[in-house]
C-alpha cells in the first residue's frame, strides 16, 4: 500500500482513539475507579452519574444497558433495515415489470437481490424479534433486567457496523474504492462466492459482507445466550416452567436454535473468508461446493425457524386476547414449538435435493421435512380453535394475527409440496419457491411483527396509533402479499426460473401482476411508517394500563399490569404532568422516579 495511505489511516485511527478517550473522560466518571480523587468511595455513591442512572439526550441511547431502551433501539434498527430491504425489492420489482432490462442493470439487480435477502433475514428479522424479546421477556417473567445487560448492549451495537459492512459495496462503488456490492445471492454458493478467477461477483464487497454477516451472527449468539440465561435464572419466583408464557417459550427455543446454528454459520463464513484471502481450499477442492451447501443449510434451515418461532409466539400471545379466551391447547403449542426446534436441525438437505446427493439420504430428509408439518399444523389448529366461538374483536393486531394464520397456511402447504422430492425436482429454483417462502417471511413473519408492534405500541409509547391507518396498512399488506406471492407461485408452475433480472415474454402478465402487488405493499408500508411516527409524536395518550380492555376478559397480562403501576406511579409522583414515555418522546432525562423498573 502507498505510504500516504498508510499515514492517512494511522492518523485516522489515532484521531479516532483520542476522540474515544476524550468522550469517555467527558461522560465516564473516572473517580469511580479511583480512590485518589476523594478517598475510598463506597458503592452506591460512586458518582453522580450512577445516581442519575441514565444520562441525557443521545448519550443515553449510546450508553444504555436497560433492556427496554435496547429493545427500542433494536426496533428502530429493525424497521430501518426493513425500509432499506423493502426499497431494494421495490427497485427489483419495477425492473421485473418488463421482460427486458429497462430500469436497472443486471449486475445492480444481482446486488440488490443479494442485499435484499440478507437485509431482511439478518438485519430486519432477527433484530425485530430481539426488539420484542428485549422489551418484553424481562417484564413478563418478572426479571429486573436481562441476565447480562452489558452483553445485551454489545449485541445490539454490533449490528450497525455489520449493516454498514453488508451494504458497503453500494457506497464503495460511487466512492471509487474499486469494488462493488456482492452478487452472490444470500446463499453465497461456492465457487461463485469463493473468488475463483477474477472474482466477478463483488470482490472486496463479498469479504465485507462475510465479515458483516459474521458480526451479526456474533450479535445473535450473544443475544441468545443472554435470553437463555435470563429465562433460566432471572424468573420471578411466581413464574415456574409450568406457567411460563408462550412468548418466552418460543424465545427460549429460538435462542437454543441460534446457539447451535449461528456459530456454525460463523465458522463456515470464516472458512470462506480464508479461502478468499488466506490461501486455504476448504471449498475449492472436490466436494467443496457440496460442503458449503451442507454447512450453509445446516444453519440456513434452522434460521427459518429462528425467525418464525418467536413470531408464532407473538401470535399465540396476542390472538387469544382479542378472542376473549385463553390459548387453546397451550401445552401442545409449547410441545410443538419444542418439536419444531428439534426437527428443524434434521431437514436442511431438502434445499439440496437437486444437487445429486445420495438418494437414500435424500429420502430421509424428505421424511423429516414432511414430519415437521405436523407440529406446525398443531399450532395452526390451536389458533383456529382459539378463534372458534370466541368473542372476536377485529383490532389491527388481531387482523394481522388472522392474516398471519391465513398466509401461514398457504405458505406452509406450498412448502409441504416442496418437501416431496419428485415435486421439488420439478419446482426447484423456480418462482414457486420464491412465492412459498415469501408467504412465510412476509405473509407470516412480518405480519406477526406488525401485530406485535400495534399490540404493544401503547405499552412502549403510552400513546395509541391511528386505528384507521392501521387497518389500511393491514388491508394493503394482506392484498399486496397475496397478489404478489400468489402470482409468483403460478409463475413457478409455469417454469420461470428465479434470480434473473430478465425473463421470457410469456411470463409478462404474471410478473406485471406481481409488481402491482409489490407496489400495493409499498404503499401499505409507507402508511405504516407514517402512522408509527406521527402516533409516537402526537398520538392520543392512553389513560390506563389497559388500552385493550383486557380486564373484561380476565386476560390483563403482566406487562400491562406493569404499565398500570407505572402510570399510577407517574401520577402520584408528578401530579398531572405528562407521563414519561419510555424513551419515546423528547425527554432529556431518561432517569426519573417512574423510569425505574
Partner 1 sequence: MDESPGLSDQYRKASPWPVFVALGLPLSEIGLVFDLFPIAVGGLLLFCGSIVGLLLESEYASTVWKPLVVMSGLLGVFGGLLIFADGTTDVTLLTRAYATFAAAIVMALGVVAGKLFVPKRGIPT
Residues lying near partner 1 in the complex (CB under 8 A): 1, 6, 9-10, 12-14, 16-17, 20, 23-24, 27-28, 32-36, 40-44, 49-50, 53-55, 60, 62-66, 69, 144-145, 149-150, 153-154, 156-158, 160-162, 165, 204, 207-208, 211-212, 214-215, 218, 273, 277-280, 565-566, 568-569, 572, 591, 596-597
Beta carbon nearer to partner 1, 267 or 280: 280
* Least distance in angstroms from the C-beta of 582 to partner 1: 13
Closer residue to partner 1, CB minimum distance, 137 or 402: 137
Smallest separation, CB 37 to partner 1 (Å): 9
Determine if residue 585 is left, alpha or beta; phi over 0 gives left, psi from -120 to 50 gives alpha, anything else beta: beta
Q: Enter the C-alpha cell of residue 246.
A: 408462550
Q: Write down the least CB distance from residue 66 to partner 1, Å.
A: 5
Q: Which is nearer to partner 1, 3 or 242 (CB)?
A: 3
Cβ nearer to partner 1, comparing 24 with 425: 24
Taking the complex as a whole, how short is the minimal distance between the CB of residue 179 and partner 1, in angstroms? 11
Pairing of strands 540-541, 463-464: antiparallel
Cβ 227 to partner 1, closest distance in Å? 17
Residue with smaller CB distance to partner 1, 120 or 211: 211
> 545: closest CA among 139, 134, 72, 251?
139
Assess contact for 301 and 344: CB atoms under 8 A.
yes
> Residue 591 CB, nearest distance to partner 1 (Å)?
7
What is the Cα–Cα distance from 315 to 303, expressed in whole angstroms?
19
Nearer to partner 1, 149 or 480 (CB): 149
| Least distance CB 55 / partner 1 (angstroms) | 6
Using CA atoms, how far apart are residues 362 and 347, in angstroms rounded to an integer?
Answer: 10
In angstroms, the CA 177 to CA 291 distance is 33
Q: Which is nearer to partner 1, 201 or 215 (CB)?
A: 215
Nearest approach in angstroms of CB 290 to partner 1 is 24
Residue 541's DSSP bridge partners are: 463
Handedness of CA 19, 23, 24, 30 (dihedral sign): positive
Cα distance between residue 376 and residue 305, in whole Å: 11
Residue 56 DSSP one-character state: B
Residue with Cβ nearer partner 1 (229 or 273): 273
Helix (H) or strand (E) holding 463: strand 463-464
Helices 467-494 and 447-461: crossing angle, nearest 10°?
Answer: 160
Residues 363, 375: contact at Cβ < 8 Å?
no
Looking at the Cβ atoms of 63 and 173, the one nearer to partner 1 is: 63
Asked if 512 and 453 count as a contact pair (C-beta separation under 8 A), the reply is no
Residues 31, 283: Cα–Cα separation, whole Å: 53
Q: Looking up cell 393486531, which residue turns up?
A: 397
Distances (CA, A) of 110 to 106, 126, 325, 477: 6, 23, 48, 26
Smallest distance, Å, CB 47 to partner 1? 10
Amino acid at each position: 500500500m502507498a505510504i500516504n495511505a498508510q499515514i492517512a489511516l494511522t492518523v485516522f485511527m489515532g484521531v479516532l482513539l483520542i476522540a474515544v478517550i476524550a468522550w469517555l473522560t467527558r461522560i465516564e466518571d473516572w473517580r469511580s475507579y479511583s480512590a485518589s480523587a476523594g478517598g475510598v468511595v463506597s458503592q452506591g455513591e460512586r458518582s453522580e452519574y450512577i445516581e442519575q442512572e441514565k444520562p441525557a439526550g443521545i448519550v443515553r441511547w449510546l450508553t444504555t444497558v436497560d433492556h427496554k431502551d435496547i429493545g427500542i433501539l433494536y426496533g428502530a434498527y429493525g424497521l430501518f433495515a426493513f425500509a432499506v430491504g423493502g426499497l431494494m425489492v421495490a427497485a427489483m420489482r419495477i425492473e421485473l415489470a418488463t421482460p427486458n432490462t429497462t430500469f436497472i442493470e443486471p449486475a445492480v439487480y444481482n446486488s440488490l437481490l443479494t442485499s435484499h435477502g440478507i437485509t431482511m433475514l439478518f438485519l430486519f428479522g432477527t433484530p425485530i424479534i430481539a426488539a420484542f424479546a428485549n422489551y418484553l421477556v424481562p417484564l413478563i417473567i418478572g426479571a429486573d433486567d436481562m441476565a447480562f445487560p452489558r452483553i445485551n448492549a454489545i449485541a445490539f451495537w454490533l449490528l450497525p457496523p455489520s449493516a454498514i459492512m453488508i451494504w458497503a459495496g453500494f457506497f464503495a462503488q460511487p466512492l471509487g474504492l474499486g469494488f462493488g456490492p456482492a452478487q452472490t445471492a444470500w446463499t453465497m454458493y461456492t465457487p461463485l462466492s469463493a473468488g475463483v478467477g477474477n472474482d466477478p461477483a463483488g470482490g472486496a464487497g463479498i469479504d465485507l459482507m462475510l465479515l458483516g454477516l459474521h458480526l451479526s451472527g456474533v450479535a445473535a449468539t450473544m443475544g441468545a445466550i443472554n435470553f437463555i440465561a435470563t429465562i433460566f435464572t432471572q424468573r420471578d419466583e411466581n413464574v415456574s416452567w409450568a406457567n411460563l408464557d408462550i412468548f418466552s417459550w418460543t424465545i427460549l427455543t429460538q435462542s437454543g436454535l441460534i446457539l447451535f446454528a449461528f456459530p456454525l454459520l460463523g465458522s463456515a463464513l470464516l472458512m470462506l473468508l480464508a479461502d478468499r484471502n488466506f490461501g486455504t481450499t476448504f471449498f475449492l477442492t472436490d466436494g467443496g461446493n457440496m460442503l458449503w451447501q451442507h454447512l450453509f443449510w445446516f444453519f440456513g434451515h434452522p434460521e427459518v425457524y429462528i425467525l418464525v418461532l418467536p413470531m408464532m409466539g407473538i401470535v399465540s400471545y396476542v390472538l387469544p386476547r382479542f378472542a376473549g379466551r385463553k390459548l387453546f391447547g397451550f401445552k401442545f403449542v409449547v410441545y410443538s414449538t419444542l418439536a419444531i426446534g428439534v426437527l428443524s436441525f434434521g431437514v436442511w438437505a431438502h434445499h439440496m435435493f437437486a444437487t445429486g446427493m445420495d438418494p437414500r439420504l435424500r429420502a430421509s430428509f424428505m421424511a423429516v421435512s414432511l414430519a415437521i408439518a405436523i407440529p406446525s399444523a398443531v399450532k395452526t389448529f390451536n389458533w383456529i380453535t382459539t378463534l372458534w366461538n370466541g368473542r372476536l374483536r377485529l383490532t389491527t393486531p388481531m387482523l394481522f394475527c388472522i392474516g398471519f394464520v391465513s398466509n401461514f397456511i398457504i405458505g406452509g402447504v406450498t412448502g409441504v409440496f416442496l418437501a416431496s422430492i419428485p415435486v421439488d425436482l420439478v419446482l426447484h429454483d423456480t418462482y414457486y419457491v420464491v412465492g412459498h417462502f415469501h408467504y412465510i417471511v412476509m405473509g407470516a413473519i412480518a405480519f406477526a411483527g406488525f401485530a406485535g408492534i400495534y399490540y404493544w405500541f401503547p405499552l412502549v409509547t403510552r400513546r395509541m396509533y391511528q386505528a384507521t391507518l392501521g387497518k389500511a396498512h393491514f388491508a394493503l399488506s394482506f392484498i399486496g402479499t397475496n397478489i404478489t406471492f400468489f402470482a409468483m407461485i403460478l409463475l413457478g408452475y409455469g417454469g420461470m426460473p428465479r434470480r434473473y433480472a430478465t425473463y421470457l415474454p410469456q411470463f409478462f402478465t404474471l410478473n406485471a401482476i406481481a409488481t402491482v402487488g409489490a407496489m400495493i405493499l409499498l404503499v401499505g408500508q409507507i402508511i405504516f411508517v407514517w402512522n408509527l411516527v406521527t402516533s409516537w409524536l402526537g398520538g392520543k395518550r392512553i389513560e390506563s394500563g389497559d388500552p385493550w380492555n383486557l380486564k373484561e376478559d380476565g386476560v390483563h397480562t403482566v406487562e400491562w399490569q406493569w404499565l398500570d403501576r407505572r402510570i399510577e406511579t407517574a401520577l402520584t409522583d408528578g401530579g398531572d404532568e405528562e407521563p414519561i414515555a419510555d424513551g419515546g418522546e423528547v425527554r432529556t432525562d431518561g432517569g426519573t422516579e417512574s423510569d425505574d423498573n
